[in-house]
Amino acid sequence: MKLPVYLDNNATTPMDPLVLEEMLPFFLEKFGNAASRTHSFGWEAEEAVDIARENVAALIGAHPQEIVFTSGATEAVNLAIKGIWESKTTEKRHIITVSTEHKAVLDTCKHIEKVGGAVTYLPVQTDGIINLEDLKAAIRPDTLLIAVMYANNETGVIQPIRQIGAIAKEHGILFFTDASQALGKIAINVQADDIDLLACSAHKLYGPKGVGALYVRKKNPAVALTAQIDGGGHERSMRSGTLNVPGVVAFGKACEISNEKLTKESERLASLRDRFENQLITLPNVVINGNHTQRLPHATNISFHNIDGEKLIFEAANDIAFSRSSACTSATLEPSYVLKAMGLSDELIHNTFRFSLGRFSTEEQVDHAVKVISKIVKEHRSEGNYGHHQVI
C-alpha cells in the first residue's frame, strides 16, 4: 500500500488516468484554437469542446448551450453573482446567502455590499442545514438572488436544494448554487431543482485544475449576465478568452466517467465512509458533525475530544493526508467559521478534521487510517496533556 493514504478528496482529486489519456493529444497533436474557424485544427478543437460541453450538461440535466467554461469554480461564482448584480434590469438590490458558504461566495457577496447591495447571511442549524422558514422570512420585495451551496466543503452536508429552488421560483427570484463538491458525487438535475445558475470545477471530480464551468439557464427564465472578462466575445459573450481546450476536454471526460459510475461509486464510497466512521466511533468521545443522512457519500467531519489536534495532524502526516476544519491565515490558526456557525466551541474545532474518500480509496487504506488515528488519539489521552486545546 502506497503511503501516505490520501483522504483529502474534497480539497482536490487525483486525475483519473482515462481523463489524462483523453486530454494529452490536445497539447501536441490537436493543438488548435477552438475559435479558429478557417482550418481543420480549429474545427477539431471546436468539436472536442462541443463534446465536452455535452458531457458536462448531461451530468446536471442541462442543455449544452447553457454551459459556460471558466478557469474554475471561483471564477464561475464571481461571474454568476457579479454578473447577475450588474445586469439587473430592476431596482432589486438584495441577495440571500448562507453563513457557511465557500469563501468564493462570501467574499463575492462582501464585494456586492461594498458597491451598494444588501446581503442577508442565513444561519444554519446545529446539523449544518438551513431552516427553510428563515429563508422565507428573509425574502424581500427587492430580493434579486438566492445563493446556497449544494453541499458543504467541510462537512459534506447537503442543503435542501429542491425546496430552495421551489421557494425561489415561487417568488420570482433567481437561484444560484455552488455545486463544486456535489458534482459527480450525487445526482443533480437543474430542471427538477429549479436551479438558474450552477458553478462547478473539474479538479473535484478527477479532472485537472484550472478549468470549471457555470450553468446559465436559457429559458423559463432566460438568465442574463454581465461578463466579468471582456475581449473577443467567447462563450456567447459571457466569458471572453481563448478556451483551455485540453482542460475543457478533460473536464468533459471526467463528467462522462462520473455520470457512468455515479450510482455504484456513491454506494461504494458511502460504505467505505461508514466503515471508517464506525471504527473510529468505538473510541470514547468521538463526534460526527453535521446531518448524518443529508450529506455526501464520501465525506465525514469528525471531532475528537481531549486530544491535541495540531499534534495529531502532524504525527499522522507520514501515513495519512487529510485536512483540518480550520484555515491558516497569515500564520494564525483561525477556527472554522462553518463549524462555529454550527455551534462548536473554538476548542473542539481545533480537534476537528475533514476526511474525504475518493474513487481510488480502498478498504485497506481506510483500515490503515483508522489504525493510525486510533493509536495517536489513545496516546494523547493517556498522556493527559492537551495544552490549550483541552476539552472537558
| Beta strands 118-122 and 323-324, pairing class | unpaired
CATH code of residue 97: 3.40.640.10
Catalytically annotated residue among 109, 200, 255, 328: 328
Per-residue pLDDT tens for 214-270? 999 999 999 999 999 999 889 988 999 999 999 999 999 999 999 999 999 999 999
Does one domain contain both 159 and 278? no
d(CA 130, CA 215): 24
Check if 328 is active-site.
yes
Per-residue pLDDT tens for 321-366? 999 864 443 344 689 999 999 999 999 999 999 999 999 999 999 9
Does one domain contain both 298 and 156? no
Grid cell for residue 14: 487525483
Does one domain contain both 252 and 270? no
Q: Where are the beta strands (DSSP E) in the chain?
A: 5-6, 67-70, 94-98, 118-122, 143-147, 174-178, 197-201, 212-216, 286-288, 299-304, 320-321, 323-324, 326-329, 332-335, 352-356
Average pLDDT of span 64-76: 98
Instruction: Check residue 385 and give its pLDDT.
Output: 55
Per-residue pLDDT tens for 89-114? 678 999 999 999 999 999 999 999 99
Threshold 0.75, pTM exceeds = yes
Instruction: Check residue 90 and give its pLDDT.
Output: 74
Does one domain contain both 267 and 350? yes
CATH code of residue 385: 3.90.1150.10
Last residue of a domain, one of 257, 292, 321: 257
Average pLDDT of span 384-392: 47
- Hey, what amino acid is at 333? L
Does one domain contain both 179 and 198? yes
Instruction: Check residue 389 and give its pLDDT.
Output: 41
Instruction: Check residue 223 and give its pLDDT.
Output: 96
Phi, psi (5° rounding) for residue 4? Answer: -75, 155
Domain count, the chain: 2
* Predicted confidence (pLDDT) at residue 1 exceeds the cutoff of 90: no
Does one domain contain both 157 and 279? no
Instruction: Check residue 329 and give its pLDDT.
Output: 34
Does one domain contain both 300 and 222? no
Instruction: Check residue 384 and give its pLDDT.
Output: 74
d(CA 128, CA 26): 42
Does one domain contain both 88 and 231? yes
Per-residue pLDDT tens for 291-306? 999 999 999 999 999 9
Grid cell for residue 284: 470514547
Does one domain contain both 270 and 166? no
Contact 148, 168 (CB under 8 A): no
Last residue of a domain, one of 213, 228, 257: 257
Last residue of a domain, one of 257, 292, 311: 257
Instruction: Check residue 386 and give its pLDDT.
Output: 56
% residues pLDDT > 70 (the chain): 95
d(CA 374, CA 302): 13
d(CA 272, CA 183): 19
Does one domain contain both 193 and 136? yes
Does one domain contain both 228 and 352? no
d(CA 252, CA 256): 6
Instruction: Check residue 390 and give its pLDDT.
Output: 40
Q: Tell me which residue range forms the domain holding 202.
A: 17-257
Phi, psi (5° rounding) for residue 150? Answer: -70, -50
Does one domain contain both 251 and 272? no
